[in-house]
Chain A
Amino acid sequence: GNSVTQMEGPVTLSEEAFLTINCTYTATGYPSLFWYVQYPGEGLQLLLKATKADDKGSNKGFEATYRKETTSFHLEKGSVQVSDSAVYFCALSGGSGGSNYKLTFGKGTLLTVNP
């Protein structure tokens, strides 16, 4: 079946630092890949997505590129802000190893940005 592995946190950075959160996946076929963000006390929000190989998703200064050759979808941001402090989830759906619409999540990475 499908699975997602993302780097364990917590990650603590200073404001304006560069962020990378690694995410790799296991799936057959061509799944869609997502990054969701959960701010404290809130539900999840879609941050960005990519639906085919070499697609780059981007939003709010965050980027991630769908790399089929390395089965990766790493999240990056050039300059983080205190307001980016949240839990980040990598997820996938589709492919031929699981239900087309079922989201499989990584374990989440807690990011704390200090001023």
Chain B
Amino acid sequence: DTAVSQTPKYLVTQMGNDKSIKCEQNLGHDTMYWYKQDSKKFLKIMFSYNNKELIINETVPNRFSPKSPDKAHLNLHINSLELGDSAVYFCASSLGTGSSYEQYFGPGTRLTVT
């Protein structure tokens, strides 16, 4: 009965490759997010979707392309991977876009680019 799940949990790949991370939530939430956590644990939002529409795009390089096929899924595709993309990527969801709504986080995907 996992609320927010991500696959894969670990991803090791070489520079220049293209990879995808998948996220699914079974909470019936309308809003989903992608966050990046760097090696110093700093968390920064990348994207947010509400009802499959992009509502936040935080000046992320256009090598990163999110896709939301339906409200329960938000995938992240990364082209031409670079060393600096190594991080932990977290997916999250919330009931809606109100400021008081709690966000539920997935377990994270640790991406290592060599």
Contact = CB atoms under 8 A, between A and B. Distances in A.
Contacts of A32: 99-100
Contacts, number: 65
Interface of A: 31-32, 34, 36, 38, 42-46, 49, 51, 87, 89, 93-95, 99-103, 105, 107-108, 110
Interface of B: 4, 31, 33, 40-45, 48, 55-56, 90, 92, 94, 96-108
Q: Which 8 A-B pairs have the closest CB atoms?
A: A94-B99, A43-B105, A101-B97, A44-B105, A93-B99, A51-B100, A108-B41, A105-B43
Given A43-B105, A44-B90, A107-B40, A100 B98 contact: yes
A36 B106 CA distance: 13
A50 B80 CA distance: 41
Q: Is the interface of A mostly helix, strand, loop or mixed?
A: strand
